[in-house]
Amino acid sequence: MSIGKTIAFTTLLLCAVLIFISVVAISAGSSGIHFWEIMKTLTGKSVTDSATATIIWQIRIPRVILAASVGGTLALGGLVFQALLRNPLAEPYILGISGGSAIGAILAMLIGLSFFPGVALFSFGGSLLVLAFVTTLAGTALGNTMLSRDSLLLGGVMMNAFCAAVIMFLISMTRSFQVQHILYWLMGDLSSLQGGQLAILILVIPCFAVIFIMARPMNLLLLGRETAAAMGINVKNTILLLLIITSLMVSIIVSLSGLVGFVGLVIPHIFRSIFGPDHRVLVPACILGGASYLIVCDLLARILPSSGEMPVGIITALIGAPLFIILLLRGRS
């Protein structure tokens, strides 16, 4: 099968999965609306009562779109960083994005800003500051062969550790009623979504496109920087562009959802073990697969607790960690 056909086949297959899961997620929920009523509303065939339409159009569909965007972006982010750093443990928060945006978000909550736009803007700003710092470091590092990919990895880990200390400090200074809010955000939470935020998500789509175009250069980067350069890749520009684009889209997502963990680690691994190492297949697969995975996790986070919801980050980790271990065991045998 030629590469074009393989891409088309996997993409269509995963699209079908995503659509199926989305419909299930839209129809399931605590308000007990009948499935067929929902289908009729979705297809515009019936004029059901306005409450049902509101729940579907104003609450559930935006929620599913948010979950899909967050999942797709995080999975893709993990894939890109694993390729760039040639390290299977790299994840989308590796360059300190999580730390930076968490500090921003907590500061905003402490000042008493509303979730949107206040907290989101602060967390986006925080991650951009860290990103600017780390990529400047990487930019100088890439020009200088002394510093390898390991230094970039270490720089990110150190940045995250430093931010974690600042976060702990801020929490220790916080009055009790704000702590739960902050903890929810740190665990990754899709429930604070408000209308109007979804428009921001459109920004991640051009990022997806750019990364897809860079998929083949990413394959070559796996073979090492010099080998990639020898085959005509402008290595420095490619790495910097990928770092910046990926960090940007992850920052956008984090500012809306908080820190949802494990998606960026587990999804790329699953698809790499199924489809092999070619990023031209893996990029669309991770976007669609990550989206499906987070919709399912978010659905569980909504329906499992008898009252209220739990942060989706708990579910992604509860499913993700055992899944990851199973994959490791299978890979070894």
Partner 1 sequence: MQILDTENISLIFRDKLVLENISFSVTAGEFFVIIGPNGAGKTSLLKVLAGLQKTQHGSVTIKNRNITKYRRRNLSQIMAIVPQHIEVGFPFTVADTVIMGRTPHLGILGMEGKEDYLRAREAMEFTEVAHLAERKLYQLSGGELQRVIIARAICQQPEIILLDEPTTALDPAHQLKIMDLMEKFRREKGTTIIMVSHDLNLASMYGDRLLLLKEGRVVETGAPKSVLNKELLEESYGCRMMVDESPLGQAARVTPIPDKYLQNYE
- Residues lying near partner 1 in the complex (CB under 8 A) are found at 2-4, 86, 146, 213, 215-217, 219-220, 222-224, 226-227, 229-235, 276-278, 280
Kindly state the smallest distance separating residue 113's Cβ from partner 1, in Å. Answer: 43
Residue 151 CB, nearest distance to partner 1 (Å)?
Answer: 15
The Cα-based distances of 72 to 175, 250, 300 in angstroms read 35, 10, 18
| Radius of gyration over every alpha carbon of the chain, rounded to an integer in angstroms | 20
Closer to partner 1 by Cβ: residue 183 or 223: 223
Distances (CA, A) of 220 to 127, 215, 217: 29, 9, 5
Q: Contact 170/264 with Cβ under 8 angstroms? A: no
* DSSP secondary structure, 100-122, as one string: HHHHHHHHHHHHT--IIIIIHHH
Q: How far is the CB of 160 from partner 1 (least distance, A)?
A: 26
Closest to partner 1 by CB, 92 or 217: 217
User: 144 or 172: whose CB is closer to partner 1?
Assistant: 144
- CB of 107 or CB of 152, closer to partner 1: 152
| The two structure tokens encoding residue 101 | 């945006």
Nearer to partner 1, 37 or 278 (CB): 278
Q: For the chain, where are the alpha helices, taking DSSP H only?
A: 3-27, 35-43, 50-54, 61-84, 97-111, 120-143, 149-172, 176-187, 204-213, 215-222, 225-230, 235-257, 263-275, 279-303, 312-332
Kindly provide the b/e burial profile for residues 259-272, where b requires at least 16 CB atoms within 10 angstroms of the residue's own CB: bbbbbbbbbbbbbb
State how far the Cα of 159 lies from the Cα of 101, in Å rounded to an integer: 12
Q: To the nearest whole angstrom, how small is the minimum distance from the Cβ of residue 250 to partner 1?
A: 24
**Rounded to whole angstroms, how far apart are CA atoms 257 and 313?**
10
Of 86 and 181, the one with the shorter C-beta distance to partner 1 is 86
Minimum Å gap between C-beta 146 and partner 1 is 7
Cα(110)–Cα(298) distance, rounded to whole angstroms? 27
Shortest distance (Å) from residue 213 CB to partner 1: 6
Those residues whose C-beta lies under 8 Å from the C-beta of residue 307, and which sit 6 or more positions away, are none
In the bound state with partner 1, the residue whose beta carbon lies nearer, of 186 and 283, is: 283
List the structure tokens of 184.
């929810």
- Least separation in angstroms between residue 17's CB and partner 1 is 24
Taking CA atoms, 309 is separated from 25, 106, 115, 190, 192, in Å, by 15, 21, 17, 10, 11
Minimum CB separation of residue 282 from partner 1 in Å reads 12
Nearer to partner 1, 164 or 240 (CB): 240
Nearer to partner 1 (CB atom), residue 38 or residue 218:
218
d(CA 79, CA 267): 8
Beta carbon of residue 86, minimum distance to partner 1 (angstroms, whole number): 8
